[in-house]
Chain A
Amino acid sequence: MLTCKEFDDFMVDYLDQRLPVWQKFMCWLHVKMCRECAGFIRDYHRAIKLGQNAYDAPDEPVPNSVPEELIKAALSHKRSK
């Protein structure tokens, strides 16, 4: 069975489902057998989700969110070229 440290080393690929079948199985087994790692990967996954939720729709334009002077400065750069 993997140690917690070995499992930790595989965690990014494990969550991305990029591990070969055998390593994936070994990780899955480790999570089933190890309460600490099961708790950690649960929190780790939640932290990723919380981060994504914190920036959901990041490109959604906010009306009038750009100060007018910034817009004017950008355009004056263009005109001065």
Chain B
Amino acid sequence: MVVASGPVNSTGVSAVIDVSRSSNLDGDDKQLLECLRAGEDGCYEMLVRRFGPQVLATAKRYLRSDADAADCFQDTFLAVFEGIDKFEQRSAIGTWVRGITVYQCLMRIRAQGRRHEESIEHLLPVFDENGDRVQSFAGVRSSDIGDSIDATQLKIIVRQKIHELPDTYRVVLLLRDIDGHTTKQTAAILGISVTAAKTRLHRARSALTSLLKPEMERLNYHADM
């Protein structure tokens, strides 16, 4: 696993960003980096326009409001500008920027505390005294969009359901299942043990399964096992 140090942000915390899925710099990246390090204003604009959509999309995925995503956008590029001289070129610039974006999102979520932390116990599997599974999806409502549903609507519903998860679980799910980090990498990014990451991931997935159960039944959705 290749780990790169991100820029020191305004709080003085150095971001540790995983970039193990990255590649080395290509020609475009090299040219952009040289130009950025030369301090040319036009190159900063090029950087923001090139990676801005990716940064904003990532911020909207992790954060709950557009205002937070916009603030995160600013914080990310500020950190990128400040850290460009320390960029170690172990990954593509886009991968590095994505790592910083996720880090900025996590810092923002952490700073906001646990105000979104509602219990998910009612969405988790239930076992009887013998350890046997008891079916229970009580209280999970299907979305109100009628009987037919297309792929775009389904994506929106699934995103909404993921959004309903408390941050503690939602973030692990996003890092692990959506962004494709390993459990070990997810644990490192969040500063928690691998065991804790696995537990949170399992609870997040179990809760999401409950939340999506009505949609799966309605769709008779079939996925390859």
Contact = CB atoms under 8 A, between A and B. Distances in A.
Interface of A: 3-6, 8, 11-13, 16, 34, 36-37, 40, 42-55, 58-59, 61-63, 65-66, 70-71, 73-75, 77-79, 81
Contacts, number: 143
B166 interface: no
Instruction: Give the secondary structure class of B's interface.
Output: helix
B43 to A, nearest CB: 11
A48 B132 contact: no
Given A4-B133, A74-B77, A16 B183 contact: yes
A13 B181 CA distance: 15
A70 B56 contact: yes
Given A40-B125, A40-B209, A8 B78 contact: no
A8 B199 CA distance: 11
Interface string B174-197: 000111000100000000000000
Interface residues of B, number: 55
A8 B52 contact: no
B203 to A, nearest CB: 10
Contact of B178 (A12, A55, A62): A55
B98 to A, nearest CB: 7
A13 to B, nearest CB: 7
Nearest to A47: B209
